[in-house]
């Protein structure tokens, strides 16, 4: 492989793979009547709700002179730029230039629009590329589709490349060290071996000896249109009935040095147990989970951006290595597809 291609692959991974669905905002951030600006994969986007409540997404750039549409307002389900009032619909088409009757810009599809999917209190946006220009269906994690799984989404901005967040998730062994002082995460042996099992949709990295005791495994789902993980954490005694505490995690690059993490904290519950857990979670547990997340954030933010150039991995890093391998393979495939599309277009 040429150095140039290697650099492109590395850069693509660092910026974030395209042709994937990304969590872009919590649903509550996109309030009716109010545009919401967000940056993902280095692109500025504006989200808003149309008259049916469906989230629309455009590049956050007014085609007139470039003002941010997220500074504008929602007008009958469309978005109006605050600067001179130009109105666009969710396809990026200019509907009206109110300051200039019969302006030639009207009817022009002027800016890029993005496909949106809303699930479990979160807005996901598809970032297209030449390999997959049209959004494939969002593949809901099984827990999202099962109403018995009750959960809360939380979102945080971390000042590190998203790859650090993925590496951290593919590394269950850090749990009993980094989080040693944090309630149930302190349980379990400090020594183990790790094993890796490939699945149809990615892989599971788990501790060999310790099972069902703590943060013992992670299932990394790395499919074509999306990457996320699931893991279980034992539930503290006395915190109510029900199943384990499951985390579904998505990461979204903002740029090369920051990312969003979205975590769903879920339990499988019905009836009264469900009600009481909702209450308990908000009242007592949520803060403790934030505390754990902060430990991860602080550790990762303090690592140099190029730490991987000087790492000395050992057996426990098989999940980290596999994750990187899969990202490299995906980046390589999409760059090849983009080059092929560019070559076709040039003929
Ligand atoms: S820049 Fe948006 S209307 Fe002029
Ligand atoms: Fe952690």
CB distance 64 to ligand 1 below 6 Å: yes
Residues 45 and 94 in one domain: yes
Return d(Cα 88, Cα 95) in angstroms, integer.
5
**64, 80, 92, 108, best to mutate for ligand 1 pocket (most atoms within 8 Å of CB):** 64
Residue 285 CA, ligand 2 centroid: distance in Å = 16
What confidence score (pLDDT) does residue 245 get?
86
Residues 178 and 48 in one domain: no
CB distance 84 to ligand 1 below 6 Å: yes
Least-confidence region, from 5-9, 77-81, 178-182, 263-267: 178-182
Residue 295 CA, ligand 2 centroid: distance in Å = 7
Residue 293 CA, ligand 2 centroid: distance in Å = 6
What confidence score (pLDDT) does residue 8 get?
96
Q: What is the pLDDT of residues 272-331, one digit of tens each?
A: 888 888 888 888 888 888 999 999 999 999 999 999 999 999 999 999 999 999 999 999
**67, 72, 99, best to mutate for ligand 1 pocket (most atoms within 8 Å of CB):** 67
Residues 49 and 163 in one domain: no
Q: Which of 38, 71, 30 minimizes the C-alpha distance to 54? A: 30
Residue 246 is assigned to a structural domain of this protein? yes
Q: In what order do the strands lie in the sheet with 55-59?
A: 36-40, 43-49, 55-59
Residues 193 and 287 in one domain: yes
Q: Which residue has the higher pLDDT, 243 or 120?
A: 120
What confidence score (pLDDT) does residue 185 get?
65
Residue 20 is assigned to a structural domain of this protein? no
What confidence score (pLDDT) does residue 289 get?
85
Residue 58 CA, ligand 1 centroid: distance in Å = 15
CB distance 81 to ligand 1 below 6 Å: yes
**72, 75, 84, best to mutate for ligand 1 pocket (most atoms within 8 Å of CB):** 84
Structural domain of 178: 142-328
Widest Cα–Cα separation across the chain = 73
Residue 133 is assigned to a structural domain of this protein? no
User: Of 64, 93, 127, which marks where a domain is finished?
Assistant: 127
Cβ-contact 229, 220 below 8 angstroms: yes
The residue assigned the tokens 């995906």 is 330
Residue 293 is assigned to a structural domain of this protein? yes
Contacts of 92 (CB under 8 A, 6+ apart): 58, 59, 109, 110, 111, 112, 113
Q: What value does the mean pLDDT take over residues 240-259?
A: 89
- Domain of 240, CATH number, reads 3.90.380.10
pLDDT band at 135 (very low <50, low <70, confident <90, very high): very high
Please state, as a whole number, how many other Cβ atoms lie within 10 Å of the Cβ of residue 7.
10
Residue 251 is assigned to a structural domain of this protein? yes
Least-confidence region, from 31-40, 157-166, 215-224: 215-224
Residues 113 and 149 in one domain: no
CB distance 65 to ligand 1 below 6 Å: yes
Residue 252 is assigned to a structural domain of this protein? yes
- Domain of 58, CATH number, reads 2.102.10.10
Ligand 1 atom with the shortest distance to the CA of 97 = 3
Q: What value does the mean pLDDT take over residues 226-255?
A: 85
Residue 215 is assigned to a structural domain of this protein? yes
CB distance 62 to ligand 1 below 6 Å: yes
Q: Does 335 have pLDDT greater than 90?
A: yes
Residues 284 and 321 in one domain: yes
CB distance 69 to ligand 1 below 6 Å: no
Cβ-contact 162, 16 below 8 angstroms: yes
Residue 201 CA, ligand 2 centroid: distance in Å = 23
Q: What value does the mean pLDDT take over residues 180-202?
A: 85
Q: What is the pLDDT of residues 53-73, one digit of tens each?
A: 999 999 999 999 999 999 999
Number of domains in the chain: 2
pLDDT band at 30 (very low <50, low <70, confident <90, very high): very high
Residues 146 and 183 in one domain: yes
What confidence score (pLDDT) does residue 259 get?
98
Q: Which token pair is 198? A: 């490939």
Mean pLDDT, rounded, of the chain = 93
Residue 311 CA, ligand 2 centroid: distance in Å = 19
Residues 85 and 177 in one domain: no
Residues 181 and 213 in one domain: yes
Backbone torsions φ then ψ of 314, nearest 5 degrees: -130, -170
Residues 121 and 150 in one domain: no
Q: Which of 245, 235, 289 minimizes the C-alpha distance to 266? A: 245
pLDDT band at 214 (very low <50, low <70, confident <90, very high): confident
Residues 108 and 158 in one domain: no
Residue 134 is assigned to a structural domain of this protein? no
Q: Which token pair is 124? A: 């996901």
- Residue bearing the CA closest to ligand 1, atom 4: 84
Residue 106 CA, ligand 1 centroid: distance in Å = 13
User: Of 102, 127, 152, which marks where a domain is finished?
Assistant: 127
CB distance 67 to ligand 1 below 6 Å: yes
The one-character DSSP state at 218 is: E
Q: Does 117 have pLDDT greater than 70?
A: yes
Return d(Cα 166, Cα 178) in angstroms, integer.
16
Residues 84 and 153 in one domain: no
CB distance 86 to ligand 1 below 6 Å: yes
Q: What value does the mean pLDDT take over residues 156-180?
A: 95
């Amino acid at each position: 492989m040429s150095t140039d291609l290697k650099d492109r692959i590395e850069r693509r991974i660092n910026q974030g793979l395209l042709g994937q669905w990304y969590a872009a905002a919590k649903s509550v951030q996109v309030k009716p009547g109010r545009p919401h600006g967000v940056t993902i994969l280095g692109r500025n986007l504006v989200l808003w709700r149309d008259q049916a409540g469906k989230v629309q997404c455009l590049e956050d750039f007014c085609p007139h002179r470039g003002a941010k549409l997220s500074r504008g307002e929602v007008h009958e389900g469309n978005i109006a730029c605050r600067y001179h009032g130009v109105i666009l619909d969710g396809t990026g088409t200019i509907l009206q230039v109110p300051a200039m009757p019969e302006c030639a810009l009207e009817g022009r599809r002027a800016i890029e629009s993005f496909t949106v999917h809303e699930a479990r209190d979160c807005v996901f946006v598809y970032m297209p590329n030449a390999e997959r220009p049209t959004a494939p269906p969002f593949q809901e994690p099984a827990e999202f589709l099962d109403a018995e799984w009750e959960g809360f989404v939380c979102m945080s901005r971390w000042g590190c490349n998203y790859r650090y967040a993925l590496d951290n998730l593919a590394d269950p062994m850090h749990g009993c060290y980094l989080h040693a002082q944090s309630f149930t995460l302190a349980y379990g042996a400090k020594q183990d071996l790790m094993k890796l099992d490939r699945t149809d949709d990615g892989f599971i990295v788990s501790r060999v000896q310790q099972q069902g005791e703590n943060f013992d495994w992670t299932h990394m789902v790395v499919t074509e249109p999306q990457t996320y993980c699931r893991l279980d954490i034992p539930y503290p005694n006395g915190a109510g009935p029900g199943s384990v505490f499951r985390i579904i995690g998505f990461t979204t690059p903002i740029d090369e040095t920051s990312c969003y993490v979205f975590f769903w904290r879920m339990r499988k519950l019905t009836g009264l147990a469900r009600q009481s857990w909702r209450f308990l979670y908000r009242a007592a547990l949520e803060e403790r989970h934030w505390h754990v997340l902060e430990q991860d954030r602080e550790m990762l933010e303090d690592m140099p951006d190029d730490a991987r150039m000087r790492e000395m991995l050992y057996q426990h890093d098989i999940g980290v290595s596999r994750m990187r391998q899969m990202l490299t393979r995906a980046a390589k495939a999409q760059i090849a597809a983009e080059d092929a599309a560019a070559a076709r277009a040039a003929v």
